Structure 1
Amino acid sequence: MGGQGKPLILLHGLAGSSRELIPTAEALRADFRVILLDQRGHGQSTRRPADLSREAFVDDVVHLMQTRFPGERCVLIGQSMGAHTVFLTAAARPDLVDRLVMLEGHAAGNEDPASVAQIGKFFAAWPTPFEDEAAARRYLGDETIAGAWIADLEPTGNGLQPRFDADVMEQVITAVHKPRWAEWESLEVPALAVFAKDGMFAHQDKDELIRRRPETTRIDLQAGSHDAHLDAFDEWINALRQWLNPRARMPSRRPGRLNVDC
């Protein structure tokens, strides 16, 4: 996306792509050199990669940083699954990461196999190919995330297809759902955790993330769903700008919470 300043990499969530983070990139590129990455199994990257481990996702980001920004430390920002990739990358290679932001991300995982299977069944049930966008809208509904999925559908000779496979998504989320507290607690770089008002995590989950790593800064948005980068965009960008500005950011080893007003 171009831009000036320190390199910044944006990572989307499960079944998403870099397309949904283009508005975030555009809002930040005045101060950063912004890269958007389609993570493996998503978007225009390899649809069915052989390795779907969390380590493989981390290796992709490390490779990007080392080849595109050699000798520099990058800012990493991720949403949901992308947030998970972000903190694991920073834990594995703190020498390459300046700081990180997690939107609606967590380290606790979810070892309930039924929840993983439910996600796989949801995507597998899509009656694809959709004849057109109107057909996709009738099935997927009017939620903000549905709009992002529809915008990302790939035209084919038979209609519109998602840019991911349901069984791949199930394998990916299975790995994400394994607890990674050791990596979270070992983080050496400044970290910001952003949670939406109507997001995925309960109050005790949010509190536990900070209790496990008290030097983390936490921002609770006053609006938005799990996809707050889409449905609470202005507040999300305001939170990012507050924290990414070194003059506004709290010291890296000091705990605390920032209240954000648009």
Structure 2
Amino acid sequence: MIQRGDTEIAVTDRGGDGPPVVLLHGLAGSSRELLPTADALTDRFRVLLIDQRGHGRSTRRPADVSRSAYVGDVIAVIEQLLPGQRVRLIGQSMGAHTAFLTAAARPDLIDRLVMLEGHVAGDDEPEGPANIGRYFASWPVPFADEAAARSFLGDRPLTDAWVNDLEVAPDGLRPRFDPDIMQAAIAAVQEDRWTEWENLTVPTLAVFAEHGMFTAEQKDELIRRRPDTRRADLPAASHDAHLDAFDGWIGILRRYLSEKFA
């Protein structure tokens, strides 16, 4: 655990030899869903995974869910656990947003950046965060058992990640996050961050899924505004491509992380 004020940040060191890699999950997820990604990299890299504040084994109800707080957590992990090293930083969805802002704030700490299904433009749906909060608040928790959770959450790859991460409580199974914290956390992502993006100096790979969250125009704009950005696309994949297009994702990731940069 890394202590930052009143907030504990849980870190999993998956081991491995080689340059350090740090992985960041998305909203309402945890490092657990990225363990297969981590384990696919430990033959070449030392891999650490972070439970972002409000998620997983980190403090469930942090007082601060600003973007700067999330960025500060990542910086603290790197400086305390990987002192003097530059890391390959990888994030999915909101984790990609955190990773990008970390690279923008502290390029001296980041060797290269990978954003899976992430973007830097704000959401033009003002009710988006509230809708997300209402969805998580609609979960009939506690779930009596895993079968009840799967029945409610449906049959999709993300269901496995959510079910596997449920916490055993005296009254049943509960998620490791609270709806209001998720709503507040994602609301902070609403602001456009084009200035930081256009001034970013860290080598970057943007990975998009064919059936992901972003339109063709949104994907193109990200590259147009920063032409040095590399882009890769995963066919037949969803927003959670690390789960439903795993082999393609790992292939792209291993190639990029192993490239030599001048």
TM-score (norm 2): 0.93
1:31 to 26, 44, 58: 44
Q: Deviations over 1:136-190 (max 9, x none)?
A: 0110001111111111000000000000000000000000121111111111110
Q: Aligned partner of 2:147: which letter?
A: A
Q: Deviations over 1:9-68 (max 9, x none)?
A: 000000000000000000011111100100000000000001000000000000001011
Aligned partner of 1:152 in structure 2 is: 165
Aligned partner of 1:213 in structure 2 is: 226
Aligned partner of 2:53 in structure 1 is: 40
Q: Which has more strand, going by share of residues?
A: 2
- Contact in 2 for aligned 1:111/1:178 (Cα 8 Å): no
Q: Take 2:129 and 2:258, find their aligned partners in 1: how far apart are those partners?
A: 38
Aligned partner of 2:17 in structure 1 is: 4
Does 2:100 align with 1:100? no
Which SS does the other structure have where 1:222 is aligned?
strand
Aligned partner of 1:121 in structure 2 is: 134
C-alpha RMSD of matched pairs (Å): 1.0
Q: Aligned partner of 2:211: which letter?
A: D
Aligned partner of 2:190 in structure 1 is: 177
Q: Please identify runs of 4+ aligned residues in structure 1 that moved more than 4 A.
A: none
- Contact in 2 for aligned 1:90/1:189 (Cα 8 Å): yes
Which SS does the other structure have where 1:215 is aligned?
coil
Instruction: Give the count of matched residue pairs.
Output: 249
Q: Which deviates more, 238-247 or 75-84? A: 238-247
Q: Deviations over 1:109-138 (max 9, x none)?
A: 204221111101000000000000000011
Aligned partner of 1:81 in structure 2 is: 94
Task: In structure 2, list runs of 5 or more residues that go unmatched.
Answer: 1-13
1:18 to 15, 28, 31: 31
Q: Deviations over 1:179-202 (max 9, x none)?
A: 111111111110000001110000
Q: Aligned partner of 1:241: which letter?
A: R
Q: Take 1:76 and 1:21, find their aligned partners in 2: how far apart are those partners?
A: 13
Task: In structure 1, list runs of 5 or more residues that go unmatched.
Answer: 253-262
Q: Take 1:98 and 1:136, find their aligned partners in 2: how far apart are those partners?
A: 40
Q: Which deviates more, 234-243 or 109-118? A: 109-118
